[in-house]
Structures are given as C-alpha cells and as structure tokens.
Amino acid sequence: MNTSPTNPGSACDIIDIDADAEINGEKPEITIETPRPSKKVLPCGGFVFPFSGPGKTASSDYPYALHDTLQLPWTHSSSADGTLTLRSIACRKICAKGRSNCSACADLSKDSILEGILDRAKHGVHEKANYAYQSFSGLIELLRRKNKHIEEMKMRGFNAARRIARQARSLTDHKCFVRAIQKAGSTGIK
C-alpha cells in the first residue's frame, strides 16, 4: 500500500516546521512592527504606606485585622524590600506621565480611615481600643503586659494564701491557749 501523497501540496503533505520557509525558492523577510503608544503610560505605584519611624515595619505599624472588620476602600501588598503598598479598589492600574500613582490611589491619603491609621501608627493605639486597630507588634506588646499582670495576680494570690494560712495557724494556737485558760479557771487552779 502506498502512503505517500499523490499530489504535492495536498492536505496530507508532511510539513517540516523546523525548516526555513521558502516561497518560490526565496526566503521572505519577516518584520514585526510594534505600535507606539500615543501617550506615555506608566503603571500605578499605589499609595506607599509611610512607616512611623526608623526600624518600623509593616507588622509594627499597619493594622491588618481591620480588613476583616471593616470594608476598606483599598487592598494591601508587601514587597521583599519591606515596602507596604496600598491600592485603591478603584485603581486604574496606570498613571499619567510625571505621576507615581493614579488619582484613585492618590486620593487614599485623604481617606479618614487611613488618616486615623497613620495617626495611631505615629502616636500609638489606645490600650482599650478594639484589637483590630492594633498592629502585630501592638498585639504582642498587649499580650506581654497582660501576661505580666496575670503573673502579678498569681503572686498576690499565692502571698495572700500564705498569709491566710499563717493567720489561721496563729488563730488556732490562740484558741488552744484560751481553752487552756478556761479549763484551768474551771478546775480552780491559780
């Protein structure tokens, strides 16, 4: 049985895709034109979260738990270099020439919730504030203080128990002494 194609150029021809393409014995030149943008477009850099001081990080300043508690108008992302970037939900992903972020991300700096977060990062979160407003380092500090308070209360309880036991022994000894005097007085011993 003959498996070779009967007429060249039919649908059954085997094509070598690794061979150079030749049209009528000539190699065509392939040029790819990339369209030039009419306007310079840059990716939006978002709102870079300013840390409250040297040595501060995202975990020491930013209250991540607020995203679980409130519907915030931004998302957050961290990079390997420690930068925390906030992006508006309405981010346009591109910004105009000469700008580092789109108008939606630039407007985040005027958001009252973000202003409160920045103020608490700078001045500290009140101890009695909801835990969602605390950063990771703030929560760790609260747990340390709470553990210290618990240890102090345990020591107070231990010391009070020892004092009560000592007073109970003293009271028992005093009762024995009073009974002995009563017994001596009833028998007529002087």
Return averaged pLDDT per consecutive 10 residues of the chain, 190 residues in all.
52 60 60 56 84 74 88 87 88 83 89 90 86 89 94 95 93 90 73
Question: The tokens of 32 are what?
Answer: 């790819």
Residue-level pLDDT at 17: 60
State the Cα–Cα distance between residues 9 and 184, nearest whole angstrom.
136
Q: What is the pTM of this model?
A: 0.57
Residue-level pLDDT at 20: 58
Contact present, 126 and 72 (Cβ < 8 Å): no
Backbone angles phi, psi at 178, to 5 degrees: -65, -40
Judged by DSSP in three states, 11 sits in coil
Per-domain residue ranges for the chain?
Answer: 42-134
State the Cα–Cα distance between residues 186 and 51, nearest whole angstrom.
84
Backbone angles phi, psi at 87, to 5 degrees: -125, 130
Question: The tokens of 68 are what?
Answer: 């679980």
Order of strands across the sheet that contains 84-88: 47-48, 84-88, 74-78
| Residue of 25, 48, 40 lying closest to 96 (CA atoms) | 40
Residue-level pLDDT at 183: 83
